[in-house]
Chains A and B, each alone.
Chain A
C-alpha cells in the first residue's frame, strides 16, 4: 500500500515533468518550423498564368537594371467601396516584388513609400505639381474624385512614370513596361556645358526679335536682345549639335510661331499735360527646332537671365530624350463633303475629346513621343517613327494608301484601329434610310423635325488593301456621334410622353449595344488583360487563308467574338431598337429589322457567330509592286515610283474596333453592359490603354514584355448575365442536392439496419 501510494506521486511528478518537456519541445518546434518556412518563402502558384507570382521575365528585367527602381504609391483614404482593399493589395504586391527582385533593384518600403491622402481636394495642388490626376467616378451624388497612382522613378530617368491603379491585375506588366521605357532615357549630366555636350540630336535655335511690322523695339529691349543673342551664341559654341541664329527680319516665317510681346509705356502728352499709357509691341522669342515634330517655342522673353538659359537647356535636353516615337496618322484627304455638314444637325451630349486625340494623349502618357504623321509628296512616312497608329482611317487619298503600303512593305509597323468610319448620323443626304427611304419625316430627334437621322454605309478605303493582304472586312455602319453608347439605332416607336419636353412627341429611344470580343486562346499576350473588349459598331474580320499562304504572312488572331453571340435581349417595355453589330454578312439593313408585336423593332440575328476574328496580327513581307507609279496629289510634281521602297518584313495589327475602348470595373473586369465608369474619360482611357500598350510595346520593345504580358491571365468571368431560373436552380442544387442524397442514403442504411434487427428479433422470438 505504501509502495503504491508512494508510486503515485512520483509517477505524477514524472508525468508533470514529461508534460512540461513535451510542451516546451512542441512549442519550440512550432516556432522554429514556422520561422523556417516563412524565411524560406517557398510558394506554389496554382493559378493560370501564375497570377499571384512574379514572372521570371520580370525579375530578369529588373535585375539587369544598373540603378534601382524607386516606387511611391499615393492613395486617397476616401475611395469607392469597391476599392476598400486596394491599398492592402497594392502594398502586398509591391512588397512581393521587392522580396522577389531584391531591394537593391526594387526599392519599396510600405511605411516610407505609401502616402495615404486624407483630404483629396487639399492634396490636389501638390499632386498636380507631380503630374498626378485623380480618378473620377460619377455617382448619384455627383462626381467623386480619389487618387490611386504609382510613381516609378529611376535615377537615370528624365521623369517618373505614373501608373494609375484601380486593380492589381496588370500591376506587374505596367511596372515592367514603365521600367523598360524608362531604360531608354538617359541621365542628364550636371551643369550646362556638360548637358550641351551630351546632346545627340542636332538643334536649330532661333532668336526672333524686332519691332512689330518693321517698327523699332524699345531701346532697353534692343539691348536685351543683344545680350540674349550673345548668351545663346555661347551655348551654340559648346557643341556643334547646336546651331544658333538671331533673326530680326520682319518677314521671318518664325514670327508666326510667336505672339508679340507688349510693354506698357506711360507717357505724357506735351500738348495737354495729361498722362497716357500705351503699349509697344515687339517680338522676343526663342524657337528650338529638333527636326522632329513641332518646334518648341519660348515666347514673351523680357530678360536676359540665367533662368532663361536654364530654360533653353532644359528644353534641349527634353527634346533630346530618346523616347520612341509613335506616329499617329492624320488623313490628308478632305472628308466627304456631305458629311462635313454633320455637326450642325446632331449634337450628342457634352463635347469631349475625339478618339484620335484621346489615343494620342494615351500614347504620350505611355511614355512615347507622338508625331502627327501626314503623308507629304516626297517624304512619305517619317523614318523616325517606330510604329504608326491609324485611327479609323476613312476616305484616304489613293496616294496615302500607296505610302502606307510602301511603309509596311519596307519593314514598317502599323496598328490599325479599323472599322466603321465615324460621323454623326446624317440626314437623307446619305444613301440609306432604315425605315422610309427618302422620307425624312419618319425620323426626328427631340421634337425637331429638321434633325433627321438615318443609317449610312461607308466603305473604309483600306478595305482593298487589307483584302490584298488576305483580310476581309465587312462594310461598316456609321456610328452616332461622340456618345458613350456603343451604337444608336433609330426606328419607329409608339408615341411616348417625353418627360423633358412635357408634350407627347414621337420619341426615339436608343438602346446601347455592347458587342463583345474576347481574347483568342492561341496568343493571348496581346490581349492578356482583355477578357472582353467592348467594341463599338465593329464587325468581324475574315481571313483568306489561301492569300495569306500565298504571301507567306504569319498571322495570329488576337480577339474573337465570344461563343455566345446571341442577340441581346430588349425589354418589351422599352421603345427602342437593338441591332446586333455582328450581322456583318447582311447587306440590306432593312432586312435586319423585324417588327415585333409590341411595336419595337428587333434585328434578326443570323446563326451564332462565335469565334470570328475581331483583331489579328500579320507579320512578314507585305506585298508591294515598286513599278506602280504613286498616285499624285493635285499639287505635286511627278514622283518616281517605288522611290521609298526597301523590302523588309513588316508588322500589321488590325483591331476592328474604332474606339478600341473597354469599360472596366474596379475589380479589373470589363463588363459590357454596366456603365460603372459613368462617363469617366480617365478610366475609359485606362482601359483603352491596355490594348494599345500591348500592341505598341510589342512593336517597339519586342518579346521581352510579351512574356510578362502572357502571364497576366485574369480571373474567369461569365459573359452573359445569369437568368433568374439559373440562379434559383443553382442555389437549390448547391444547397440541397448532395445533403438530400446523403439523407436518403442514411435513411436507407438506418432502415436496413432496422429491418435486420426486426428479422433477428423475430428469429429469436423477441417479436
Chain B
C-alpha cells in the first residue's frame, strides 16, 4: 500500500501538471487572500493591517474547489481510458486498499500545496510577534487543519467522480460542480431558510450541510466536534462510494 501511495505521489509531484497546480494554487491563494477576499470597502489585507489569516482561509474553499478536482481527475479515469484498470482489479491488493493508497497520495499532494503557502503563515506570525499581543498560533494551525479536512473531502469527491468515467475532463467538471456547489451551499441555504440565521429545524439542517460554515469556524480557531465529524464522515462516505463503483466494474 505504501508503495502504491509513493508511486502515485511521485507521479503527481514530478509531473509538469503537478508543478503547475502547486504554482497556480500558491499564486491564487496569495492574490485572493491579500487582495480580493479582504475587499469590503476597507482596502486590501495590507490596508486593513490585519494580522490574521482569515482572508487567506476564506479563499481556500474556492481555490480548492477549482484546483483539487484537477489533482484527482486522472486517479481512475486515466486507468479506465488506457484499459489498465483491469490490472488494478487483478492486483493482490484489495480494492479498498488501493483506494486508500491513492487517497493518501492525493492528501500528501494537498499537504505539499499547502506547504507552498507557508511564507504567508511566516509573514503573519512574524508580524504578530512584534505586536504587544504576540503571535497567535491557534487559529493558524486550526485553519490549516480545516484546509486539510476540506481538501480531503474534495479529494474524496474528485476520486469518486473520476471512478465514474473514463474521461478526465468529465471527471474534472463533475467534481468541480459538486465541490463548488458545496462551497456555495451556505448562500442557497440562507435563501431557502428565509433568514440569515434561522431558528427552525429546517433552517438549521440546511445550514449544517454547508461545508463553508464548518470550515469558517475552524479557520477562525474554533474547532467543533461536529465539523470534524462532518468532514471525516463525508470524505469517508465518498470513499465508500468510490470503492463501490470500482467493485461494480467487476460485474459489468
**Chain A residues at the B interface, C-beta cutoff of 8 Å:** 8, 11-12, 15, 19, 22-23, 26-27, 29-30, 33-34, 36-38, 40-48, 51-53, 80-82, 84, 87-88, 91-92, 95, 109-111, 114, 518-521, 531, 560, 562-564, 665, 667, 669, 671, 713-719, 721-722, 726-727, 730-731, 733-739, 742-743, 746, 749-750
* Contacts known (A11-B251, A715-B51); A37 close to B228, Cβ less than 8 A: yes
Residues of chain B whose beta carbon lies under 8 Å from any beta carbon of chain A: 13-14, 18-19, 22-23, 26-27, 30-31, 34, 40-42, 46-52, 112, 115-120, 123, 127-128, 130-139, 141-142, 195-200, 208, 217, 220-226, 228-230, 233-234, 236-237, 240-241, 244, 247-248, 250-251
In the complex, which residues of chain B have a beta carbon less than 8 angstroms from the beta carbon of A111?
195, 198-200
Given A26-B240, A715-B52, residue A734 in contact with residue B127 (CB < 8 A) = no
Whether A730 touches B52, Cβ cut-off 8 Å, given contacts A8-B251, A15-B247, is no
Residues of A within 8 A of B224 (CB): 42-44
A46-B139, A87-B196, A110-B198 known; A734 vs B42 contact (CB < 8 Å): no
Q: Are B123 and A19 in contact (CB under 8 A)?
A: no
Contacting pair A722 B26 (CB below 8 A):
no
A520–B137 Cα gap in the complex (Å)?
Answer: 20
Q: Write the nearest CB–CB distance from A154 to chain B, whole angstroms.
A: 23
- The complex places the Cα of A15 from the Cα of B133 at a distance, in Å, of 60
- Identify the interface centre among B142, B197, B208: most chain A CB within 10 Å of its CB: B197
Quick one: which of A33, A41, A81, A730 contacts B233, CB cutoff 8 A? A33
**Cβ A717 vs Cβ B50 within 8 A:** yes
Given contacts A29-B233, A738-B26, contact A562 B225 (CB under 8 A): no
Chain A residues, CB < 8 A from B141: 46
A48 CB contact (under 8 Å) in B14, B115, B138, B217: B138
Rounded to whole angstroms, the CA-CA distance of A88 and B132 in the bound complex is: 30
Given contacts A81-B40, A734-B123, 6 further A-B pairs with CB under 8 A are A34-B226, A37-B226, A47-B136, A563-B130, A716-B52, A718-B50
B117, A734: Cβ atoms closer than 8 Å: yes
Instruction: Enumerate chain B residues within 8 angstroms of A82, measured Cβ to Cβ.
Output: 40-42
A-B contact pairs, 18 of them (CB 8 A): A12-B251, A15-B251, A19-B247, A19-B248, A34-B229, A37-B225, A38-B208, A46-B141, A48-B133, A51-B221, A52-B220, A562-B132, A667-B48, A715-B51, A716-B131, A734-B117, A735-B26, A735-B30
Q: Which 4 A-B pairs have the closest CB atoms?
A: A46-B138, A735-B30, A37-B229, A47-B221
Nearest residue in B to A83 (C-beta to C-beta)? B40
Q: A23-B244, A733-B119 are in contact. Are A713 and B23 (CB under 8 A)?
A: no
Q: In the docked arrangement, what's the CA distance between A393 and B31, Å?
A: 52
CA distance A564 to B131 in the complex (A): 9
| Bound form: Cα–Cα A408–B108 in Å | 66
- Complex CA gap A568/B128 in Å reads 21
With A and B bound together, what is the CA distance between A521 and B131 in angstroms? 11
Asked whether B34 lies within 8 Å of A734 as measured between CB atoms, the reply is yes
Find chain A residues with CB under 8 A from B228 CB: 37
Residue numbers in A under 8 Å from B26 (CB-CB): 734-736, 738-739
Residues of A within 8 A of B247 (CB): 15, 19
Query: Nearest chain-A residue to B28 (Cβ)?
Result: A735
Q: Which residues of A contact B195 (CB under 8 A)?
A: 110-111
Contacts of A42 in B (CB 8 A): 224-225
B230 touches A715 (CB 8 A): no
- Given A22-B244, A110-B198, A665-B42, check contact A30 B237 (CB 8 Å): yes
Q: Do A735 and B31 touch (CB < 8 A)? A: yes
A735 to B28, CA, bound (A): 8
A36 to B225, CA, bound (A): 10
Q: How far is the CB of B40 from chain A (nearest CB, A)?
A: 6
Contact check, A746 vs B14: say whether CB atoms are below 8 A apart.
yes
Give chain B residues whose Cβ lies under 8 Å from the Cβ of A109.
Answer: 199
Docked-complex contact B31 and A717, CB < 8 angstroms: no
Bound: A36/B23 CA distance, A: 40
| Given known A-B contacts A722-B46, A735-B27, A46 and B14 have beta carbons under 8 A apart | no
Instruction: Tell me the nearest residue of chain B to A666, going by C-beta.
Output: B42
- Tell whether, in the assembled complex, residue B240 and residue A742 are in contact, meaning their CB atoms are under 8 Å apart: no
Rounded to whole angstroms, the CA-CA distance of A562 and B217 in the bound complex is 31
Q: How far is the CB of A277 from chain B (nearest CB, A)?
A: 61
B42 neighbours in A (Cβ, 8 Å): 82, 665, 667
The answer to whether A91 touches B197, judged by C-beta atoms less than 8 angstroms apart, is yes
B141: min CB distance to chain A, Å: 7
Give min CB distance, A709 to chain B, whole Å. 15
Q: Residues of B contacting A53 with CB < 8 Å?
A: 222
Q: Are B138 and A81 in contact (CB under 8 A)?
A: no
Could you say which residues of chain B place their CB within 8 Å of the CB of A52?
A: 217, 220-222
Q: Which of B30, B34, B222, B237 sits near A47, CB closer than 8 Å?
A: B222
- Shortest C-beta distance, B103 to chain A (Å), equals 16
CA distance A682 to B18 in the complex (A): 55
Q: Which of A671, A713, A746 contacts B19 (CB 8 A)?
A: A746
* CB nearest to B35 among chain A residues: A731
Q: What A residues does B250 contact at CB under 8 A? A: 15
Residues of chain B contacted by A519 (CB below 8 angstroms) = 132
Interface centre among B135, B138, B250 (most CB of A within 10 A): B138
Which residues of A sit under 8 angstroms from B22, Cβ to Cβ?
739, 742
Give min CB distance, B30 to chain A, whole Å.
4
Given A40-B225, A48-B136, A52-B222, also A22-B240 (CB < 8 A): yes
Looking at the assembled complex, report how far the CB atom of A86 sits from the nearest CB atom of chain B, in whole angstroms.
10
For the complex, what is the distance from the CA of A730 to the CA of B217, rounded to whole Å?
Answer: 27
Q: Are B34 and A43 neighbours in the complex by a CB distance under 8 Å?
A: no
| Complex contact A742–B19 (CB within 8 A) | yes
A53–B223 Cα distance when bound, in Å, is 11
When distances are taken between beta carbons in the complex, the residues of chain A under 8 Å from B120 are 734
A719 CA / B131 CA spacing, docked (Å):
7
Which of B115, B128, B196 has the most chain A CB atoms inside 10 A of its CB? B196
State the Cβ distance, B57 to closest chain A Cβ, in Å.
Answer: 13
Contact indicator B222/A46 (Cβ below 8 Å): yes
List chain B residues, Cβ under 8 A from A51.
221
Given A88-B196, A716-B51, also A521-B132 (CB < 8 A): yes
Residues of B within 8 A of A734 (CB): 26, 30, 34, 117, 119-120, 123
Determine whether the beta carbon of A730 is less than 8 Å from that of B51.
Answer: no
Residue among B134, B136, B237, B247 with the most chain A CB within 10 A?
B136
B residues less than 8 Å from A48 (CB atoms): 133-134, 136, 138
Determine whether the beta carbon of B31 is less than 8 Å from that of A715. Answer: no
User: For the complex, what is the distance from the CA of A37 to the CA of B229, rounded to whole Å?
Assistant: 7
- Set of chain B residues within 8 Å of A27, measured between Cβ atoms: 237
Instruction: Give Cα A727 to B225, complex, Å.
Output: 37
Q: How far is the CB of B50 from chain A (nearest CB, A)?
A: 6
What is the CA–CA distance of A481 and B225 in the complex, to the nearest angstrom? 56
- Among the listed A81, A669, A735, which residue makes an inter-chain contact with B41, where contact means beta carbons less than 8 Å apart? A81
Shortest CB-to-CB span from A527 to chain B, Å, is 10
CA of A260 to CA of B31, assembled, Å: 73
- Across the interface, name the chain B residue whose C-beta is closest to A713: B133
A715 CA / B131 CA spacing, docked (Å): 11
Cα distance A521–B130 in the bound complex, in angstroms: 13
CB atoms of B221 and A46 under 8 A apart: yes
Selected from B52, B132, B134, B223, the residue in CB contact (under 8 A) with A43 is B223
In whole Å, how far is A355's beta carbon from the nearest beta carbon of chain B? 26
Q: How far is the CA of A87 from the CA of B195 in the complex (A)?
A: 11
